[in-house]
A and B are shown apart, each in its own frame.
Chain A
Amino acid sequence: MTDLTVRIGRLTLKNPVLTASGTFGYGPEYADYVDLNRLGGLITKTITLEPRGGNPMPRIAEMPAGMLNSIGLANVGVERYLAEKLPLLEKYETAVIANLAGSTVEEYARVVMKVQKHPRVDGIEVNVSCPNVRKGGLAFGTDPDVLCELVRSVRSETDKTVIVKLSPNVTDIRPVAMAAASGGADALSLINTVMGMGIDIRTRKPLISRITAGLSGPAIKPIAMAKVYEAAQAVDLPLIGIGGIMNGEDAVEFLMAGASAVQVGTLNFVDPAGCLKVLEGIETFCREQGIAKVSDLVGAMDHG
């Protein structure tokens, strides 16, 4: 039997497979298809201080081996999250990580303050790919100084594990990863969606109402792999690899590039039990290869 446990900051997860924010609802939505107790962790949809309806339709479109989305952080807001959503997760034994966002540093801090007290919240994932209104539309995740300040302020609000989720839409991920580390992050997760777009040439309309959107799915896996690898070279923090994972072998690839755990996103839409198949695939690989601890795979790429 392979030891599947992994450490992410102050948390020990029972295995390295988590579900990615925005692709698994608030948790129970897929409980008919997936035994949630078997997940390493569950990351809930990004929540904000106030409820958000999201962007106009259409806000999704299929792409070759992927999809575009511009949901616009539609969510119930922090109060309903605490009162209605988290209690539904009480009966499950899996780590619950609350993903959150804000439009100012203060707003992030306020959401963290409210959420982190809840006993069902085991960790926080900070989504830094939404527009920073204060800095004129720049994403928090692309400016190292702003990011460092943000992470510092989140850090000061909680003793729970703080994971910072990075955007790939930067020329170099290393300074951003280092900024999150120096701000006090316990771990980094990467990547969020890659900026993309498409046009219906017959109607001449953009496929997504907001025109540009986020690409996810297998199409982005090579990009995500490179970002994980680069971040692993730059910081000494546990990384959670995300992007196009469809099976256990994809997940092992991320571990070998330097990730300690992985998140499964778009696959949930395609196969609602897919996250467990990813886990089973990792187990099979370890068994076949005689690997005692899944953590032995982290950064295990042979540089030759």
Chain B
Amino acid sequence: MYSEQCPIDEQRSITESVFLLSFTSRAIARTGRPGQFLHIRVRTGIDPLLRRPLSIHRIDPQTGQISLLFRVVGRGTRLLKDMRPGDPLDVMGPLGRGFDLSGNFSRALIVAGGMGGAPVFFLIDALLSLGKQVTLLWGVGDGREIFGTDEYVRKGVDVRVATEDGSLGHRGYVTELLDVFLKTHAQDQSFRGFVCGPECMLLPVQRFARKTVFSWQASLEERMACGVGVCQGCGVRIRNQAEYRMVCKDGPVFDLKEILFHD
């Protein structure tokens, strides 16, 4: 774990509200794993005060470049979007436990919703380097938020897109793509499922997942202060566990079938 000032290399807009920011940190590039997050201080002053958790979107091990994909939703992300190349970014991380890619599976099914697409690129990179066969189901509201998929299609990833505005792929929700996909694959032991997205998407995906024979990992979001398990602010209930687990330290990736939402 590191806490350092990293110079920003590039800031690119995907849409007017979604941005791709990259900076260089050899240390994070060396140790970061898919599913882990960085805790970013968007301003040195006292307001906004807390750091903002953002997933590692991608790492280039050659150059040590790290990228973040984020949506502007409030004050912190607005300040982040206004940062320019050369500005120092105050980064803590890599934090949390990422996806578990060990063990016996040959095919990966990834379900991403909205900004849940952020950690997915790094996950796919890792899965491909392990020689896994990857299917990505990615749903967004606005089709312009889908980007970068050509590269993965070329690398043999089966990419299926759902957009609510119907501008790309299936018109509707990603869960509808999932429903179709599972009609033929729910009983296939060679799969492992991964899901990233807002809670309103994780809930229906959990219902589907519980009917499959394979295991699923979900990346969760909770408000955070410390990001390292100290403040006890980011708890989640897990089945058969008496105590809260901390999303920042025990997660953000958990066994989807065991998560108790709304508890």
* Residues of chain A contacted by B88 (CB below 8 angstroms): none
Interface residues as binary, B218-245 with A (CB distance below 8 Å gives 1, 0 otherwise): 0000111111111111111000001110
Interface residues as binary, A256-283 with B (CB distance below 8 Å gives 1, 0 otherwise): 0000000000101111110000000000
Interface residues as binary, B1-19 with A (CB distance below 8 Å gives 1, 0 otherwise): 1010000000000000000
Contacting A at CB under 8 A, from B204-263, are 222-236, 242-244, 263
| A30 with B232: CB separation less than 8 A | no
Please classify how large the interface on chain B is, using the bins under 10, 10 to 19, 20 to 34, 35 or more: 20 to 34
Which of B47-55, B108-116, B151-159, B165-173 lines the interface with chain A?
B47-55
**Counting CB contacts under 8 A, is A222 at the interface?**
no
| A33 with B46: CB separation less than 8 A | no
State how many residues of chain A have any CB contact under 8 Å with chain B.
36
Tell me how many residue pairs across A and B have CB atoms closer than 8 Å: 90
Which of A18-26, A230-238, A286-294 lines the interface with chain B?
A18-26
The answer to whether residues A266 and B49 also contact, given A60-B225, A272-B92, A273-B3 and a CB cut-off of 8 A, is yes
* Residues of chain A contacted by B51 (CB below 8 angstroms): 269-270
**Counting CB contacts under 8 A, is B41 at the interface?**
yes
Contacting B at CB under 8 A, from A196-251, are 217-218, 246
Q: Shortest CB–CB separation between residue A99 and chain B, in angstroms?
A: 14
Complex alpha-carbon distance, A56 and B233, angstroms:
10
**Counting CB contacts under 8 A, is A87 at the interface?**
no
Q: Shortest CB–CB separation between residue B81 and chain A, in angstroms?
A: 18
| A53 with B243: CB separation less than 8 A | yes
Q: Shortest CB–CB separation between residue A184 and chain B, in angstroms?
A: 32
| A30 with B228: CB separation less than 8 A | yes
| B49 with A66: CB separation less than 8 A | yes
Q: Shortest CB–CB separation between residue A66 and chain B, in angstroms?
A: 6
Q: Which of A25, A53, A59, A218 contacts B49 (CB 8 A)?
A: A218
| A25 with B233: CB separation less than 8 A | no
| B235 with A54: CB separation less than 8 A | yes
* Residues of chain B contacted by A63 (CB below 8 angstroms): 49
Interface residues as binary, A63-78 with B (CB distance below 8 Å gives 1, 0 otherwise): 1111101010010000
11 A-B pairs, CB-CB below 8 angstroms? A24-B230, A29-B228, A54-B235, A54-B244, A60-B231, A66-B49, A69-B231, A71-B231, A246-B46, A268-B230, A269-B227
On A, residues with C-beta under 8 Å from B are 22-25, 29-30, 32-33, 51, 53-54, 56-67, 69, 71, 74, 217-218, 246, 266, 268-273
Q: A29-B230, A53-B244, A57-B235 are in contact. List 14 more A-B contacts (CB 8 A).
A: A22-B232, A29-B228, A30-B230, A54-B244, A57-B244, A60-B231, A67-B49, A71-B231, A217-B46, A217-B49, A218-B46, A268-B226, A268-B230, A270-B41
